[in-house]
Structure 1
Amino acid sequence: MPRTEMMLRRQEVLADFGDLALRSNDLDEVLNEACRQVGEALGTGRAKILEIERGGECLLVRAGIGWDPGIVGRMRLPMEERSSETFAIRAGEPVISQDIGKETRFEVPGFMKEEGVVALVNVPVFLPGGRAFGLLQVDSTEPREFDEDDARFLRTYATILGPVIDRLRMHRELRSTEERFRLTVESALDYAIFLSDPEDRITDWLPGAQAVFGWTAEEAVGQPAGITFTPEDREARQDQEEIETARREGHAPNVRWHLRKDGRRVFIEGSTRALREADGTLRGFLKIGQDVTERRRKDELLRESEERLRQFGEASSDLLWVRNAETLDFEYLSPAFEAIYGAGREDFLGRGAQERWLALILPDDRDRARDALERLRGGERATIEFRIIRPSDGELRWIENTDFPMPDGDGRVRRLAGIAQDVTEEKASAARLEVLVAELQHRGRNILGVIASVASRTLGDGAAVDTFQARLQALSRAQGLLSQSGSDTVEVGALVRAELAAHVDSHPPRVEIAGPRVRLTSAQVQNFALALHELTTNAVKYGALRGGAGRLTVSWATGRDAKGHRRLSLTWAETGVDIPPEAATRRGYGRELIEKALAYALRARTEYVLGADGVRCRIDLPLT
């Protein structure tokens, strides 16, 4: 091709590229078209653009024409290699190689040799400010004497290409920024964001504003921004004062109740900012506010709750306390602390108070107090008693602590809390009561003995008297067990064994007794003992304990009913008994006691069955 024609053709290529650069915002399209144009202009049909990436560590084949698809967009060349590409970028000048087989300045990458490249010409591409972007290179698979004219053409092309790349990069980043802004604004539905003009009429109403205030964009645009203010604030000109403050100072706080389209009120925390041109001309206002109505409601409820707790703590004679779970220092002590502990509250709040508190506790009780706090830290509840020496008067006082952990929303124990009572008087009262109970039980036994004696003398030696006396003795045995326990409870097994021991040998071979340790209260013991007495005497007269032929099993267990309450279930089972005819039809006081009196007095459920070979009785009653 004649030189003049070649020059004109290359000028057309540059003009065509200029047109493309003006109308296209797609960087990949521009780079690939650039490769096509220079490849055709230099007559090889093969060209590529390499981009420096990853902090200058490698070159990416960003665009290309005439190359295998697996190379463009994927092939990367390390910058430290002695390739023609890295050589050209570091030199900052065009590089011409008419025969790469004779090249000593650099090494040709393997993928180019595989493609049959034998000659090349390239120029570095710089962005405005001299920043290196990469390389524009034309390759030939046939011998080619690239010359300075070729290099100048590529250099001119690269000079145009650099600013175009920079512009499209900025355009892409701007579009990305705008998209991120759009997504952020559209997803922030608890933020009301809108714009108004210098007269404060709404010009842009974003999705968050619609979600918070209820008006659609069609309804809101053109309206004064004051429509979101409450009637009383508009009457007080608060909407106008806010705008004037923003106009004068650049911004104004907007923290107040606002009005929704449906008439409901929302509390907004936000601000209004003035928007100005570069010359200071006011363009309008940007209003951003978060709907914190629910948070404000919860804060008010929390403040009310804290105030009620404070009032309760101030009025309570019990001590309310809160500790930091990590340091164990007290964070709150109600006024009752001073009366109970005999020391000033201020001396026990803050750092180091834990040791001062432990110093008040008797040494024998300190480990128990420490262990309770450790259990609280682990999430357990604890109720403990310990003794202190009250500094104000030197008295020994008993303290009962009911403690519980206070976890946060994630379940981590952040604070410990509790209620403390001075139970010194209760301890003394309990001790006095034990003495009185023992005395009362002693007197009760004496009275029952007197009753038995009087009944014996009055009624003579008949069968009725024997029965009456035996029953009184059963009650006396129950009272004796109450006295032995030192409390107002008796163990079921003790009752059963005592009643059997009163009528049969101490270790009868055909009697089996089995069950866990379960205690009945004094209110339950009397009737339960009578029921056992009736079952025992019946077994002696007619059943398993008559003549040694039968077998008796007395067993009991505990369980819970549908409401979770503890219950005792006792089974009296006789086997191997020949029931006399008179016993099969007999229905005396004992059975009446079991089936009716227990149900009335103990809220028990009973089952009494006289089978072919003996009695089977089941008594089920609640445990208190």
Structure 2
Amino acid sequence: MADQDATMRRQRLLADFGEFALRSENLDEVLQEACRLVSEALGTKRAKVLEIQEGGQLLLVRAGIGWDPGIVGNLSLTMSERSSESYSIGSRGPVITQDISKEKRFDVPDFMRKAGVVALVNAPILLPGGGTFGLLQVDDTKPRDFGQEDTEFLRTYTMILGPVIDRLLKMRQLRAAEERFRLTVETALDYAIFVTDEEDRITDWLPGAAAVFGWTAEEAVGQHGGILFTPEDRAARQPEREIEMARADGVAPNVRWHIRKDGSRVFIEGSVRALHDGGGELRGFLKIGRDATERRAAEERLRESEERFRQFGEASSDLIWMRDAPTLAFEYLSPAFEPIYGRSREEQLAGNTLERWTELIHPDDRELAVQQLLSVRDGARANFEFRIIRPSDNELRWIRNTDFPLLDNAGRVRRLAGIAKDVTEEKASAARLEVLVAELQHRGRNLLGVVSAVAGRTLGHAGDVEHFRSRLQALSRAQGLLSQSGSDTVEVGALVRAELEAYAEAGPPKVVISGPRVRLTSRQVQNFALALHELTTNAVKYGALKGEAGQLSVHWSVGRTGKGRGSLALEWVETGYEVPPETGRRGYGRELIEKALSYALRARTEYALDAEGVRCRIELPLA
């Protein structure tokens, strides 16, 4: 009768535990109640649950009854080979020790000996699917023979306890996942997340959707998903097309402009996913989209900035470049690189760009150029000039570089940039200017010498001041032509026309001027202009330009001297007028032509005056 009562009591305790486990969702409470009920059922007043931890290396006293609070929840046992706990877990069955003082099979932990444990029984707690949670261990403080009924009861008890533990563990994991999901969707306010039913009616409207689109959950739920689309997309039936694609393929992209509650537009990058139940039936659609309005605007501004930079770089005749600071390798070269350096950008940007750049630099300037780059990488600015040998034509060119560092937000040099300008012509102009200044000084001295000679010949032969003034004007005209040409040479035709136009408005057929383009140096121009002036003056006073009948022909040609040098031969011929009788006096003009030109310009001259008119030939070597 006593055994029957014990059995009934144990069955009632099992029922009580099952009822408690169904009501409770707290694992620690369930384990603690399991220990209390099993100790009552076996009459030991001591029991504990050991949980496997650290991948099977330790056993934590997770719950217990009749044990010091400092042990429960704190003490861990090592799962050694000689422990009854390890053996029970390994054999997946109960293990009994009737009296630990006589136990030879296993080692008993010291804390149990100190607590007065004499007898114990272990029963593994198995989880559905074959896993092991740990052990249910019942202890007694006196020797005891745990019989078959005891072990069978423990097996039944742990078989109930295992699924209960498994359910609570999974509930805890599920709730943790749900909490993580809740925190995620509530804090990810730049992500619009919502759910629609199979007809695309909004059923769940999460905080991110409210933050992005402006509608509250009360306003959005029940509305058609198409309310978020722009009028033009609704007119094009884009909402329906997205849903049909998600229905057919499982997912559809949603990357386009949408409408907020206030009518403003927001650019969404997202997708629509079909939701199916366990049987594969469509239940609705999950829509997730990120507000990319600001990023898209920033990207658009960046594209516009890059396009402006590209247009500026392509339009500039100067080279604009950028280098990576650590390697000094080119990252960008504007199109001006090709005409300046004589190499294509594609060729220059291939391989080791620093080495390919330095090989273009004149050997004497390479060290300077590289040192300047290194100083810019250290944060300095640099302005320097160097020479290159342009490979396209082997021409030596001067380059002026203006280099400066580009810093990141931390103030470190991230890139090097600069502007390079071909200053070869500028340097040549400067050199020519120096030559011209020296020539001007020389020309001034020569001009003073000529004026002095003219003054001496004119005034010394009792000539009047008017003749002197006219000869100075001839020199002035020659100097004016030199200034207009921008160089130290004047074209012969310009000299002849300037002199004749100064005295008469004569043109063909009265005056015929012809000849190729030939330039005289400044030293030749001054004396040659005086000779032309004397010929013109005599023609106006006595010759072909005095009356209406006379004719004048001025022609010149280019030939070679006996030594092979270029020479100019000018023919001045006056005809068709009444030649006055020759007085026999040789004036300054004829003397200038026949003697001064020969002395000053090494010219050969022939001058003849007869009944037919005047013929003068001047031949001088060209510089």
Aligned match of 2:403: 403
Kindly provide the amino acid, as one letter, of the partner of residue 279 in structure 1: G
TM-superposed deviation, 1:203:
0.5
CA-atom RMSD in angstroms:
2.3
Aligned match of 2:423: 423
Q: Deviations over 1:367-395 (max 9, x none)?
A: 22223333344444433322111122322
Kindly provide the amino acid, as one letter, of the partner of residue 330 in structure 1: F
Kindly provide the amino acid, as one letter, of the partner of residue 109 in structure 2: P
Q: Distance between the aligned counterparts of 1:402 and 1:43, measured in 2? A: 96
Kindly provide the amino acid, as one letter, of the partner of residue 372 in structure 2: A
In the alignment, structure 1 residue 13 sits paired with structure 2 residue 13: yes
Kindly provide the amino acid, as one letter, of the partner of residue 354 in structure 1: L
TM-superposed deviation, 1:170:
1.0
Q: Distance between the aligned counterparts of 1:140 and 1:435, measured in 2? A: 121
Kindly provide the amino acid, as one letter, of the partner of residue 360 in structure 1: L
Kindly provide the amino acid, as one letter, of the partner of residue 199 in structure 2: E
Q: Distance between the aligned counterparts of 1:430 and 1:174, measured in 2? A: 85
Change (3 A) 1:72 1:382: farther
Kindly provide the amino acid, as one letter, of the partner of residue 251 in structure 1: V
Aligned match of 1:75: 75
Aligned match of 2:174: 174
Change (3 A) 1:378 1:6: farther
Q: Give structure 2 stretches of 5+ with no counterpart.
A: 442-623
Q: Distance between the aligned counterparts of 2:438 and 2:61, measured in 1? A: 102
1:587-606, aligned counterparts within 5 Å? none
- The SS at the match of 1:22 is helix
Aligned match of 2:195: 195
CA contact (8 A) 1:255 1:269 kept: yes
Q: Distance between the aligned counterparts of 1:338 and 1:67, measured in 2? A: 89
Aligned match of 1:349: 349
Q: Distance between the aligned counterparts of 2:384 and 2:53, measured in 1? A: 69
Change (3 A) 1:259 1:102: same
TM-superposed deviation, 1:336:
0.8
Aligned match of 2:303: 303
Aligned match of 1:368: 368
Aligned match of 1:114: 114
TM-superposed deviation, 1:145:
3.0
Q: Deviations over 1:561-599 (max 9, x none)?
A: xxxxxxxxxxxxxxxxxxxxxxxxxxxxxxxxxxxxxxx
TM-superposed deviation, 1:81:
5.7
TM-superposed deviation, 1:171:
1.0
Q: Distance between the aligned counterparts of 1:440 and 1:27, measured in 2? A: 109
The farther-off stretch of 234-243 and 197-206 is 234-243
- The SS at the match of 1:403 is strand
Kindly provide the amino acid, as one letter, of the partner of residue 362 in structure 1: H
- The SS at the match of 1:222 is coil
Aligned match of 2:84: 84
In the alignment, structure 1 residue 240 sits paired with structure 2 residue 240: yes
Kindly provide the amino acid, as one letter, of the partner of residue 47 in structure 2: A
Q: Deviations over 1:127-183 (max 9, x none)?
A: 122222211001112333322221111111111111111111111111111111111
Aligned match of 2:282: 282
Change (3 A) 1:224 1:412: farther
TM-score in terms of structure 2 length: 0.67
Q: Distance between the aligned counterparts of 1:212 and 1:410, measured in 2? A: 33
Kindly provide the amino acid, as one letter, of the partner of residue 299 in structure 1: E
Aligned match of 1:260: 260
Kindly provide the amino acid, as one letter, of the partner of residue 48 in structure 2: K
In the alignment, structure 1 residue 150 sits paired with structure 2 residue 144: no
Q: Distance between the aligned counterparts of 1:357 and 1:92, measured in 2? A: 77
TM-superposed deviation, 1:315:
0.9
- The SS at the match of 2:49 is strand
Q: Give structure 1 stretches of 5+ with no counterpart.
A: 442-624
- The SS at the match of 1:104 is coil
Q: Distance between the aligned counterparts of 1:438 and 1:174, measured in 2? A: 97
- The SS at the match of 2:359 is helix
Change (3 A) 1:226 1:163: same
- The SS at the match of 2:420 is strand
Q: Distance between the aligned counterparts of 1:72 and 1:175, measured in 2? A: 25
TM-superposed deviation, 1:319:
0.4
Q: Distance between the aligned counterparts of 1:208 and 1:363, measured in 2? A: 65
Q: Distance between the aligned counterparts of 1:157 and 1:412, measured in 2? A: 70
Kindly provide the amino acid, as one letter, of the partner of residue 196 in structure 2: S
1:476-491, aligned counterparts within 5 Å? none
TM-superposed deviation, 1:291:
0.4
CA contact (8 A) 1:52 1:58 kept: yes
* Structure 1 residue runs of 4 or more that deviate by more than 4 Å after TM superposition: 407-414, 428-441
Q: Distance between the aligned counterparts of 1:438 and 1:268, measured in 2? A: 74
Aligned match of 1:102: 102
Aligned match of 1:42: 42
Aligned match of 2:57: 57
CA contact (8 A) 1:197 1:203 kept: yes
CA contact (8 A) 1:347 1:353 kept: no
- Identity between Structure 1 and Structure 2 (%): 70
Q: Distance between the aligned counterparts of 1:339 and 1:146, measured in 2? A: 102
Q: Distance between the aligned counterparts of 1:288 and 1:403, measured in 2? A: 49
Q: Distance between the aligned counterparts of 2:34 and 2:7, measured in 1? A: 17
Change (3 A) 1:380 1:24: farther
Q: Deviations over 1:189-212 (max 9, x none)?
A: 111010011111111000110110
TM-superposed deviation, 1:21:
2.1
Kindly provide the amino acid, as one letter, of the partner of residue 356 in structure 1: R
Q: Distance between the aligned counterparts of 1:438 and 1:207, measured in 2? A: 85
Kindly provide the amino acid, as one letter, of the partner of residue 125 in structure 1: I
Aligned match of 2:522: none
TM-superposed deviation, 1:407:
4.2
TM-superposed deviation, 1:19:
1.3
Q: Distance between the aligned counterparts of 2:173 and 2:378, measured in 1? A: 52
TM-superposed deviation, 1:290:
0.4
Kindly provide the amino acid, as one letter, of the partner of residue 369 in structure 2: A
Change (3 A) 1:219 1:95: same
The farther-off stretch of 405-414 and 104-113 is 405-414
Change (3 A) 1:356 1:153: same
Aligned match of 1:488: none
In the alignment, structure 1 residue 313 sits paired with structure 2 residue 308: no
Change (3 A) 1:295 1:122: same
Q: Distance between the aligned counterparts of 1:201 and 1:400, measured in 2? A: 69
CA contact (8 A) 1:96 1:147 kept: no
Q: Distance between the aligned counterparts of 2:382 and 2:172, measured in 1? A: 64
- The SS at the match of 2:284 is strand
Kindly provide the amino acid, as one letter, of the partner of residue 238 in structure 1: Q
Aligned match of 2:567: none
CA contact (8 A) 1:250 1:274 kept: yes
Change (3 A) 1:158 1:438: farther
Larger gyration radius, structure 1 or structure 2: 2
